Structure 1
Amino acid sequence: MCEKIKVYLKKIEGAEDLEVPKYMTNGAAGVDLYAHVKEAVILKPGEYKIIATGIAIELPEGFEAQIRGRSGLAAKHGIGLVNGIGTIDADYRGEIKVILINWGTGPFSIQRGERIAQMIIQRVCQAEFVLTDSLSTTHRGEGGFGHTGQN
């Protein structure tokens, strides 16, 4: 098990009634994020909207928060994130917002306080990029999309 880190969390004005993210089980990787909307927001099929969560966080340097879709919303309603996974950098202090999209066939209503995404805290490192004229060779080489013959 990883050592726990402190992530400072601030509620945005008007979001005092929303739950604070928490791990729902001992084995949970992520915490739920809640919709900070004044009234229901309708997402029509094919439509996407930015939905606020009512929180801002302060991560330690060397960490990121990954914002991911919720599998239940995807499986039951076709709701996901436009960018797949969002990244909250350690130096960002604004409100966390989620870009939800409706890939489903019917309209979807987002209610205040509804669980709309999940957040996972991960360690990250920055790379030093070194310009070179050649790279080492490997068995795979430049084989890319579908090079193994798998669909």
Structure 2
Amino acid sequence: MIGRKLNVKVADGMQVPRYAHDGDAGLDLRITETVTLEPMQRCIVGCGLSIEIPSGCVGLLFPRSGLASKQGITLAHSVGVIDSGYRGEVCAPLINLSYETVTIEAGTRVCQLVVMPYVPCELVPVEELSGTERGTDGFGSTGVV
């Protein structure tokens, strides 16, 4: 595998995360404690590691699709952003979108971390933006079919 190095500090009893398969974009992250969530309840739970995102990159936390589709457990913020300067523990803000109470055991893989480069932009104040075919048409402007 070719890529950048990602320094990882794991908490006692936790393992260094890994890619489930060659070619996977996301590293599976596990939670450090058992949590029980009532319907629509949220909580923040640690993943037992701190990381050093390389400069010029961002860490993105995504829900695990199986947990979300089968049990209704997803990330409360949809996608989390971890900046390269952050050195604290990676945490998962979980929410139960199901109608059932759900218990998630310590060690369960709840989200995945994707590290990718980003493009910083210089903000240039202007009076007008260039025109496009879409223009200012917003949500749903292209229809549903």
Q: Same fold judged by TM-score > 0.5?
A: yes
Aligned residues: 145
Runs of 4+ with deviation above 4 angstroms = none
- 1:2-81 to 2 correspondence within 5 Å? 3-12=2-11, 16-37=12-33, 40-81=34-75
Residue 139 of structure 2 is matched in structure 1 by 145
- 1:116-131 to 2 correspondence within 5 Å? 116-131=110-125
Q: Deviation per CA, 1:13-52, whole angstroms, max 9, x where unpaired?
A: xxx2222110111121101101112xx2111111000010
How far the C-alpha of 1:110 sits from its partner, in A, is 1.8
How far the C-alpha of 1:146 sits from its partner, in A, is 1.1
Higher strand share: 2
Which structure 1 segments of 5+ residues have no match? none
Which structure 2 segments of 5+ residues have no match? none
- Could you tell me the TM-score, scaled by structure 2's length? 0.95
RMSD after superposition: 1.3
Q: Provide the rounded CA distance (Å) in 1 between the counterparts of 2:5 and 2:24.
A: 17
- 1:95-134 to 2 correspondence within 5 Å? 95-134=89-128
SS at match of 1:145: coil
Q: Provide the rounded CA distance (Å) in 2 between the counterparts of 1:82 and 1:7.
A: 25
Q: Counterpart of 2:3 in structure 1: which amino acid?
A: K
SS at match of 1:53: strand
Identity of aligned residues (%): 38
